[in-house]
Amino acid sequence: MLKNATGNVVLGLCAGLLFGAGLLISGMANPAKVLNFLDVLGHWDPSLGFVMGGAVACTLIGYPLVQRRAQPVFNNSFQLPTRRDIDRPLVVGAVLFGTGWGVSGYCPGPLWTSLAGLAPGTLIFAAFMLAGMWATSLMKQYKTPA
């Protein structure tokens, strides 16, 4: 349930700007840096380990603190994933995602943040990523009617 539309827009925008600024400053928005992190046999650049380390340290410490609240500020309840099983879609999806990430150096966050560069490769990647998400979401809906 949506509470306070203005708050949703303003603070959603602020959270996105902060996330995007983090991607830019950390170097994660640079596909060359991502590929050099993945390239353990070449000129390995371990920087992205520090990005992940800094971010996960925050969520490890902060998530339990935030969840002490009865409910989030703009919603009636916390809605977090509850599944615990390791199933085939999880594994197949991770392999597919890893393949696309390794070929391009792009995952969804950095893609959005570097869209303003308007490089043809970025724009094509974005269009096909959205198409893949849309088509797969449709198929998922047919398979598991909610």
CB of 139 to other proteins, least distance (A): 9
What are the residues whose beta carbons fall under 8 Å from the beta carbon of 46, sequence distance 6 or more? 37
70 lies in the site for other proteins, by CB under 8 A:
no
- Chain positions 16 to 35 lying near other proteins, rule: CB under 8 A, are 16-33, 35
Does position 10 interact with other proteins (CB under 8 A)? The reply is: yes
At its nearest, how many Å lie between other proteins and the CB of residue 142? Answer: 13
Task: Map the footprint of other proteins across residues 104-143, applying CB under 8 A.
Answer: 104-109, 112-122, 124-137, 140-141
Q: Is 84 in the site for other proteins (CB under 8 A)?
A: yes
Q: List binders of other proteins among 86-105 (CB under 8 A).
A: 86, 89-105
Q: Interface with other proteins includes 145 (CB under 8 A)? A: no
Could you give the CA distance from residue 138 to residue 133 in angstroms, rounded to a whole number? 9
CA-closest candidate to residue 50, choices 29, 26, 17: 26
Contacts of residue 34, defined as CB under 8 A and 6 or more positions apart, other chains included, come to 28, 48, 101, 105, 106, 107, 110
CA–CA dist 28, 35 (Å, integer) = 10
